[in-house]
Structure 1
C-alpha cells in the first residue's frame, strides 16, 4: 500500500473516532473556542488510550 493511502486512512479513522462524541459530530459547540477546546480534549483522550494500549502490549521479557 502506498504511504498516501495509509495517511489518508489514518486521518479518516481519526475523524470517525472523534465523531463518536455527539458534540463533535453535530457541532453543538457553536463558539469556535469551545469547539476547538472540546476537539483537542477528545483527541488527547484517544491519543492516551492508543498510547496506553501499545505500552500494555509490549513484552519486555
Structure 2
C-alpha cells in the first residue's frame, strides 16, 4: 500500500469534530455505523466458525 496510513473513520471524524471541521453529529453517525459494522462482523464470524466465536466470547467475559 504506498506507505500511506489507513485511518478509521471514527477516529478521523472525532478529530474533525474536535477541530470544528464537521458537526459533532457527523462523528456520532460514524460511531453508530462502526458499531453496526462490528456487530455484523461478529455475526458473520459466528456463522463461519461458531466454536472459535464462543471461545473468544468466553475469554472476553472472563477478562471483564
Name the larger-Rg structure.
2
TM value normalised by structure 2: 0.47
